[in-house]
Structure 1
Amino acid sequence: MSHHSVFIIDDDAAVRDSLLVLLRGEGIRARGFCSGVDFFANLPGDATACVITDMRMPDMDGAEVVKRLMERRGGAWPIIVITGHADVPMVVQMMKAGIVDFIEKPFDPPMLIETVRGCLARLTDLDQVQSARAGAQLRLDRLTPRERQVFDALIQGASNKDIAITLDISPRTVEVFRAKVMTKMEADSLSALVRMGLMLG
């Protein structure tokens, strides 16, 4: 079972309930909301989740749901839009707004499950990236000021000789600091260190 939840927003109780039964039958945690207003009034606190929203709903339509979700959660909450009234301009507009997929009613259950699983897999990848970034940041914070200077220079592609000139130290001293940086950052190669630097921005 995925540890991520799927939130369904649809004013049609029959459609909402059928989606809940379908997803739960696949071992996916799912919760339903009768409208966008209901959803945002009871906005779950999950750091990451998948949202399935109907397009045409009273009070707040799917486009407004997508807009508000992107503002609050960004890509951490992938969105699937389902509708019985799809047209090309609408699809393009919604894809540009950040939705992951667009499914027309009546939807094919296996296709919907496959789409949801794709979203959940993406969230798992995102969790792993965030965890790796947090770990790398902790290690980076443990570097001394001088080690941090060497780290910054290394991920910019500077050679030992260039670093020595810039920091006004000997190339041998640079090698010592470089070894300390590699050990503290738990990097087994320069490329691994550079990847950490890119990941940390």
Structure 2
Amino acid sequence: MSTNLPTPNTAQPQQLVHIIDDDEALRDSLVWLLESTGLKVASYPSAEAFLRAWTPDMSGCLVLDIRMPGMSGLELHEKLNTLHSTLPVIFITGHGDVPMAVTALKKGAFDFIEKPFHDQDMLHLIEQCLGRERAEREQRRQGANAQRRIEQLTPREREVLDLIVAGRLNKQIADELGISIKTVEVHRARVMEKMGANSLAELVQNVLMTQSPPA
């Protein structure tokens, strides 16, 4: 019996650095800086303009002014949190806005940088931010793949999987389910195959990925 799953679309969305600032000169300067290093950039003059363009599958990060006319950077960040956006946020702040930026960090922002800033500091921060976004997106992809595999298990195989992950030995599983040790071994082998796991540790890690969202 084949246990191969349909291959999901593995094309990765392009990472974009989304610059949101009402200061046109600063926007243009950042666009030039980032594009000169090969990064893909999109810029917006307001939080409202970005929200009109936002989609759940966007990839990359936000470089966001904390103070803007209309919707502020903080308000946009809170709105994106309610939308379950996965885009990490770097706030651009003035010296007097640092306490607000610290509050934003507690609400999940990636980091903040004070004006005036050095180009290399901004580039380094953005590269770190994009690296984390790539890692978290890959973790979500692996978790979704593991969940699809779990859904291919029979009800009995799922019971065996749950007990394996709980640390039960084959004899304990057999006693708890009222089946023979030989039957447990057969189910265990099928579970390992269907989950694409080569070891007990890998099996447990696959299951944990379906339960723990990225930090």
> Under a length normalisation based on structure 1, what TM-score does the superposition of the two structures give?
0.93
Deviation at 1:45, TM superposition (A): 5.0
Q: Aligned to 1:99, which of 100, 104, 109?
A: 109
The reply to whether residue 16 of structure 1 matches residue 16 of structure 2 is: no
Contact 2:20–2:46 under 8 Å retained in 1? yes
Matched with 2:7 is none
Which residue number in structure 2 is paired with residue 37 of structure 1?
48
1:187 alignment counterpart = 197
Amino acid across the alignment from 1:159: L
Q: Secondary structure at the match of 2:84?
A: helix
Paired with 2:155 and 2:183, the residues of 1 have a C-alpha distance of 15
Q: Distance in 2 between matches of 1:84 and 1:118?
A: 22
Where do 5+ consecutive residues of structure 2 fail to align?
1-12
Give the C-alpha shift of residue 125 in structure 1. 0.9
Q: CA RMSD in A?
A: 1.6
Specify the SS of the correspondent of 1:58: coil
Contact 1:7-1:49 within 8 A present in 2 as well? yes
Q: In the alignment, is the contact (CA less than 8 A) between 1:86 and 1:104 conserved in 2?
A: no
Q: How many residues align?
A: 199
TM-score by length of 2: 0.87
Percent identical among aligned pairs is 43
Determine the structure 2 residue equivalent to 1:136: 146
* CA deviation map 1:84-140 (0-9, x unaligned): 234553232121121111101111111111111111111111222122122212221
Question: How far apart are the structure 1 equivalents of 2:30 and 2:57?
Answer: 20
More helix by share: 1
TM superposition outliers: structure 1 runs of 4+ over 6 Å: none
- Specify the alignment match of 2:66 in structure 1: 55
Q: Tell me which amino acid in the other structure corresponds to 1:92.
A: V
Distance 2:167 2:143 in 1: 21
